[in-house]
């Protein structure tokens, strides 16, 4: 006899239906990419209501407000007003409501405030100042991050202080008083009747642990607990679920261990991997049909993720069309890589594909600069999803402000932006008084802070001294800008002496590392500009560089309201999204996987990140890596990512820039294959540690951790001439070299010394070029 099911059940496939209809205790649903997990969660809630569970006794937890709104809207379509009664929302929003109900048990009033990230950092700053600690050692960002991590691990201030391992680590990090700051921080929150964002989970755990009657009441009102994206839960979230549901309660979680990519936020993949051991009698369901992607895309993703050991076995499949092979393109440089992606998208748009169905994915925010630059040149509209255009990041705008002041010290916007960055003890009240005085005197802020005019500003002597010191700093930068040294040297000196470099490079929090990547990429852009202008036999200057930056940001503003645009974003931001065409750039060792990821668990997460990138594609997935890339001010030879060797070779097609021959070497370079600077066309299978060690042996002249060969051309000489030489530094006449723009060439002549050293190079495709070695960044092959 056929069983009659409501429409929301009939719409499900068999695997989805089994999971939704199961009502026998804990259930773990492994939902592969594109397998319809949201549909399953919605159907589960509707089914529970049909079984007689009161909507108010169903708790459904998500990681984003968007996901909660989408689920509630779908439930409302079938269940009407009952949808409003379901306890649905993010972990933080649901448990903040419970905390308000029982706030008095924790010594809070129900009206407690919730501190956002800025509020928390400001409180940390105030405590550091009160304790008279050096805020360059006890960086507020670092301290706030340590406190946040402690709370997510359920470490109270007292437990933090008494933990010997943490104490040793903090002492070795030269911040032994972080525990003391944590104690005061928590006391101040309590005094202010406030909780920070992490407290919403931390205090909920304390409430449930220390007040058994509250725990029983919460259990009584939670007949069923559903959790979305379970692979992203941290320890605090896991413990809340464990306390409420016990070992055998009605808990239904949906997730995919293959898409666990947020460990830097505290996510613990072991929560999903050990769920069946933690919750006794768990029933495991696997949603293995991918409704999103072509068969080829799914099979390639499977071949990649199969190399991970820490996973729940599954075989994702698709019944969609077979689809095209996955293209892996080998570009000569990072610029060529961006140009290749832009060309492909332009061609597809010419065939009628909307720009909005294309996305370009990359590992780090800093990679977007070159991509943005190329898209502007090709007039391809784009938007940055989940972030900013490169030159809109705060750390970049701060550096640009200093460079602007070196050219135009009367720029009041730039002056006020950095007068107290890095911190100089010049507060808002002082800045407002300075602005008011300067306006009344019809002067720029720079003029008003000179030693001749500072007495007119109503501040005390100590503050006046700080203002004049900043004036002198900027005056020194103005003088530097007129010196007869290279533009890039001027910029680097300004960035260093302003204190910006030390501030950015001293912050090793996850957010700080992102700022460092952007900062280093800005230095790369300065070096590249120097080379580009010099090669065109023009004189690079700060003023022209700043004009170019201003024109780029203005162009971004003009296209901000367009809707049919290509989406540029990091892979982390792409989680949960899908596009017809996906381009994944930067598949190189040290970049993807990241140089910061060295342990097996870290490398497995990098592999999962690549898996997420591939599975964003519905119809086409194209992947690219560059042979050379500017990194830390030098042009480095890159190695293809080990992950490329893990993709099923029968499902990929390889293409390359025209200057790279079929053997994977550079055309016109008789020594390339001999020296092993470039890998053959076949990617290293699984790229073992042995492979990486062997490769490193072929490139002995490298700084630790890098694969590029750097050319040193000596230092500045007072007696530079244009005398000819057979060799300069490590370069010799007759050497085959690589240039970022012109490709492969042979050195015909060398002349000059120090900063004036020059080479005449006969490039295979561009002919003879004469260039300054200091700026040319030639790589010897």
Residue 259 annotated to the active site: yes
Rounded (10°) angle between helices 542-558 and 487-497: 80
CA dihedral 676, 682, 684, 686 (to 10 degrees): 180
Do residues 22 and 251 lie in contact, with contact meaning Cβ atoms separated by under 8 Å? no
Q: Which residues are annotated as a binding site for ATP?
A: 31-38
Q: How far lies 695's CA from each of 530, 628, 690, 706, 707, in Å?
A: 32, 16, 9, 12, 9
- Give the active site residue among 38, 85, 327, 553: 38
Question: For residue 447, which of 464, 422, 478, 468 has the smallest C-alpha distance?
Answer: 468
Residue carrying structure tokens 């201030």:
157
**DSSP character for 588?**
B
Question: For residue 369, which of 508, 519, 488 has the smallest C-alpha distance?
Answer: 519
Question: For residue 146, which of 173, 114, 106, 109 has the smallest C-alpha distance?
Answer: 173
- Half-sphere exposure for 619 (CA within 13 Å, toward CB): 8
Residue 299 annotated to the active site: no
- Give the active site residue among 376, 515, 575, 616: 616
Residue carrying structure tokens 């004049």:
468
Strand ranges inside 474-578, DSSP E = 566-570
Instruction: Say which residues have a Cβ less than 8 Å from residue 248's Cβ, sequence separation at least 6.
Output: 25, 26, 279, 280, 281
Residue 228 annotated to the active site: yes
- Give the active site residue among 37, 146, 376, 608: 37
DSSP output for 337-398:
HHHHHHHHHHHHHHTT--GGGEEEEESSGGGHHHHHHHHHHTT--EEETTS--GGGSHHHHH
Distance, CA of 163 to CA of 121 (rounded, Å): 24
Sign, CA torsion 502/505/510/514: positive
Distance, CA of 634 to CA of 777 (rounded, Å): 7
Phi, psi for 178 (deg, rounded to 5) = -60, -40
Residue carrying structure tokens 């169905």:
357
- Give the active site residue among 196, 199, 229, 589: 229
Residue 38 annotated to the active site: yes
Residue 616 annotated to the active site: yes
- Half-sphere exposure for 391 (CA within 13 Å, toward CB): 21
Phi, psi for 139 (deg, rounded to 5) = -65, 125
Q: How far lies 277's CA from each of 225, 248, 274, 284, 684, in Å?
A: 18, 11, 5, 12, 37
Q: Which residues are annotated as a binding site?
A: 31-38
Residue 229 annotated to the active site: yes
Do residues 711 and 729 lie in contact, with contact meaning Cβ atoms separated by under 8 Å? yes
Q: How far lies 779's CA from each of 141, 157, 588, in Å?
A: 39, 53, 18
- Give the active site residue among 196, 199, 228, 605: 228
- Give the active site residue among 62, 222, 259, 448: 259
Distance spanning both ends of the chain, measured CA to CA: 75
Looking at the annotation, which residues are catalytic?
37-38, 228-229, 259, 616
């Amino acid at each position: 006899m056929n069983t009659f099911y409501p429409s929301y059940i009939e719409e499900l496939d068999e695997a989805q239906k089994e999971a939704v209809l199961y009502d026998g205790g804990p259930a773990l649903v492994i939902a592969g990419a594109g397998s319809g997990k949201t549909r399953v969660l919605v159907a589960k809630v509707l089914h529970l209501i049909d079984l007689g569970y009161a909507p108010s006794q169903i708790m459904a937890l998500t990681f984003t407000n968007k996901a909660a709104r989408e689920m509630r809207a779908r439930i409302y379509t079938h269940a009407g007003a009952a949808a409003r009664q379901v306890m649905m929302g993010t972990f933080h929003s649901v448990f903040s409501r419970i905390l308000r109900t029982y706030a008095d048990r924790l010594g809070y009033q129900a009206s407690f405030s919730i501190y956002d990230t800025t509020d928390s950092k400001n409180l940390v700053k105030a405590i550091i100042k009160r304790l008279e600690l050096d805020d360059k050692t006890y960086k507020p960002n670092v301290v706030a991050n340590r406190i946040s991590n402690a709370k997510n691990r359920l470490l109270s201030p007292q437990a933090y202080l008494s933990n010997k391992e943490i104490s040793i680590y903090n002492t070795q990090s030269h911040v032994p008083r972080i525990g003391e700051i944590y104690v005061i921080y928590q006391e101040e929150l309590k005094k202010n009747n406030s909780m920070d964002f992490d407290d919403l989970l931390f205090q909920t755990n304390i409430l449930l642990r220390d007040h058994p009657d509250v725990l029983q009441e919460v259990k009584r009102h939670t007949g069923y607990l559903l959790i979305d994206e379970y692979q992203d839960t941290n320890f605090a979230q896991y413990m809340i679920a464990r306390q409420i549901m016990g070992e055998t309660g009605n808990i239904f979680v949906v997730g995919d261990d293959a898409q666990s990519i947020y460990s830097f936020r505290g996510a613990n993949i072991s929560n999903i991997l050990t769920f069946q051991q933690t919750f006794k009698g768990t029933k495991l369901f696997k949603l293995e049909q991918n409704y999103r992607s072509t068969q080829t895309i799914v099979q390639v993703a499977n071949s990649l993720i199969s190399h991970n050991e820490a996973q729940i076995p599954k075989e994702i499949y698709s019944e969609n069309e077979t689809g095209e092979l996955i293209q892996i393109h080998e570009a000569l440089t990072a610029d060529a890589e961006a140009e290749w992606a832009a060309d492909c998208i332009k061609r597809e748009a010419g065939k009628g594909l909307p720009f909005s169905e294309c996305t370009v994915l990359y590992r780090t925010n800093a990679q977007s600069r070159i991509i943005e630059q190329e898209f502007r040149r090709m007039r391809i509209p784009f938007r940055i999803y989940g972030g900013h255009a490169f030159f809109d990041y705060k750390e970049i705008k701060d550096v640009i402000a200093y460079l602007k002041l070196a050219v135009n010290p009367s720029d009041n916007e730039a002056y006020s932006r950095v007068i107290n960055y890095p911190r100089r003890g010049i507060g808002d009240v002082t800045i407002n008084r300075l602005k008011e005085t300067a306006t009344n005197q019809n002067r720029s802020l720079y003029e008003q802070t000179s030693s001749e005019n500072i007495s007119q500003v109503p501040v005390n002597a100590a503050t006046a001294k700080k203002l004049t010191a900043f004036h002198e700093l900027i005056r020194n930068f103005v003088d530097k800008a007129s010196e007869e040294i290279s533009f890039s040297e001027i910029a680097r000196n300004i960035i260093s002496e302003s204190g910006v470099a030390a501030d950015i490079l001293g912050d090793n929090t996850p957010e700080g590392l992102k700022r460092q990547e952007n900062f280093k990429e800005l230095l790369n852009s300065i070096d590249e500009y120097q080379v580009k202008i010099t090669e065109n036999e023009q004189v690079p200057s700060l003023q022209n560089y700043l004009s170019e930056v201003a024109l780029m940001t203005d162009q971004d503003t003009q296209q901000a309201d367009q809707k049919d645009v290509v989406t540029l974003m990091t892979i982390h931001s792409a989680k949960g999204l899908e596009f017809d065409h996906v381009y994944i750039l930067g598949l190189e060792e040290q970049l993807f996987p990241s140089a910061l990821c060295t342990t097996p668990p870290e490398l497995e997460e990098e592999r999962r990140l690549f898996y997420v990138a591939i599975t964003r594609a519905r119809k086409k997935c194209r992947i690219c890596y560059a042979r050379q890339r500017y990194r830390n001010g030098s042009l480095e030879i890159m190695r293809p990512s080990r992950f490329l060797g893990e993709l099923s070779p029968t499902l990929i097609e390889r293409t390359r820039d025209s200057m790279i021959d079929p053997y994977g070497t550079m055309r016109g370079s008789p020594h390339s294959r001999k020296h092993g600077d470039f890998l053959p066309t076949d990617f290293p299978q699984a790229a073992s540690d042995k492979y990486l060690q062997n490769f490193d042996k072929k490139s002995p002249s490298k700084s630790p951790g890098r694969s590029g060969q750097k050319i040193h051309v000596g230092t500045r000489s007072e007696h530079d001439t244009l005398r000819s030489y057979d060799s300069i530094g490590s370069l010799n006449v007759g050497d085959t070299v690589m240039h970022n723009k012109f490709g492969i060439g042979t050195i015909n002549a060398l002349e000059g010394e120090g900063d004036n050293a020059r080479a005449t190079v006969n490039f295979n495709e561009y002919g003879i070029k004469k260039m300054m070695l200091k700026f040319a960044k030639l790589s010897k092959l």
